[in-house]
Amino acid sequence: MWPNGSSLGPCFRPTNITLEERRLIASPWFAASFCLVGLASNLLALSVLAGARQGGSYARSSFLTFLCGLVLTDLTGLLVTGAIVVSQHAVLFDWRAVDPGCRLCQFMGVVMVFFGLCPLWLGTAMASERYLGITRPFSRPAAASQRRAWATVGLVWGSALALGLLPLLGVGRYTVQYPGSWCFLTLGAQPGDVAFGLLFSLLGGFSLGLSFLLNTISVATLCHVYHGQEAAQQRPRDCEVEMMAQLMGIMVVASICWMPLQVFIAQSVLRSPPAMSPTGQLSRATEQQLLIYLRVATWNQILDPWVYILFRRAVIRRLRPRLSARARSLSLQPQLTRRPTEQ
């Protein structure tokens, strides 16, 4: 327990930031604009997804189900976290006065972990689905693919929520973070803090690594089918290439946004001497780094929908009509080579 007053909950660490500093760091206009852009981007992606889900193959329907789950996750995350952060930045309320029992802080901590891990795990689930669909297309019943996709999305949500609830059960702690406008896991040296910090970082890093491996195999398989000797008999449809392009874009965005924060958390909880003092204080440089990496990670919620919106065939054909025409001419070659044998 830190020396924060007997009437306060365990989420408050000693801080030495003034109200003027908080005003300079916590801009309500930036936070509100960020949330509005993110909400508009995800709502636009949902409307495009609603049109794309009408018709299509079972494989594409399953992939769009995962995409829908990802966009819904990002949209809800922006709504929940944005409501708390924008309100705090607008009025600069004192967290100790508003939430002395740490209930709001614990709720925000669970939300931050949940919406941080869900996009990474959903990306891995999408990579696994495409890996099986490309390398073993006949190993699964097609009619159950969409039902199984929604079940997988639900499993990801449940697993991320269970992990986020661990600090409420005594594994790790959620504390108010610099500049006093958000709550997240604690970069302390206690065994629970170290275990929870490493669990968050390693699970996120492992999901990104697994996605990279599965996507690499899937892309290599598609390239082999396109350029191999059996290409005249079976060429992947344009939608398969489109789905892989979108999936690779989602993976790259998630890696750029989340890997710095995950590496920083792992380094901080394993640092010797510890990054956090026994009284619960972090150096100002460590607090500022954590805030910067967190802000970088939140861009994932804005960029995810644009990966799907911009990496669609309709958009690519408008930007590169010559490339599209060449792809269509290649897709006709199997039909031309098969016609003499069918007569």
Q: What is the CATH number of the domain that holds 117?
A: 1.20.1070.10
Least confident segment among 52-56, 127-131, 145-149, 306-310 = 52-56
Per-residue CA distances from 87 to 73, 78, 95, 295 (Å): 21, 13, 12, 17
Average pLDDT, the chain: 82
Query: Would you place residue 180 in the very low, low, confident or very high pLDDT band (cuts 50, 70, 90)?
Result: confident
In-domain check, residue 8? no
In-domain check, residue 339? no
- Please give the pLDDT value at position 89: 81
- Please give the pLDDT value at position 148: 86
In-domain check, residue 96? yes
Q: How far apart are CA 316 and CA 320, in angstroms?
A: 6
Q: How far apart are CA 311 and CA 313, in angstroms?
A: 7
- Angle value at C-alpha 314, between 36 and 229, nearest 5 degrees: 130
In-domain check, residue 327? no
Digit-coded pLDDT (tens) for 182-228:
899 999 889 999 999 999 999 999 999 999 999 999 888 887 776 66
Q: What separation, in Å, do the N-terminal and C-terminal C-alpha atoms of the chain show?
A: 83
Digit-coded pLDDT (tens) for 267-302:
999 998 888 888 888 888 999 999 999 999 999 999
Domain that holds residue 199: 25-136+145-317
In-domain check, residue 81? yes
Q: Is the separation of the CB atoms in 212 and 251 below 8 Å?
A: yes
In-domain check, residue 1? no
In-domain check, residue 332? no
Q: With a cut of 90, say whether residue 58 has pLDDT above it.
A: no
Give the total number of structural domains in the chain: 1
Rounded to 5 degrees, what are φ and ψ at 174? Answer: -100, 130
Digit-coded pLDDT (tens) for 96-107:
888 888 999 999
**Is the pLDDT higher at 102 or at 24?**
102
Residues 6 or more apart in contact with residue 303 via CB below 8 angstroms:
253, 257
pTM listed for this prediction:
0.85
Rounded to 5 degrees, what are φ and ψ at 183? Answer: -125, 145
In-domain check, residue 12? no
**Is the pLDDT higher at 171 or at 279?**
171
247: nearest Cα among 222, 225, 229: 222
Write the single-letter amino acid at 194: V
Digit-coded pLDDT (tens) for 246-261:
889 999 999 999 999 9
Q: With a cut of 50, say whether residue 329 has pLDDT above it.
A: no
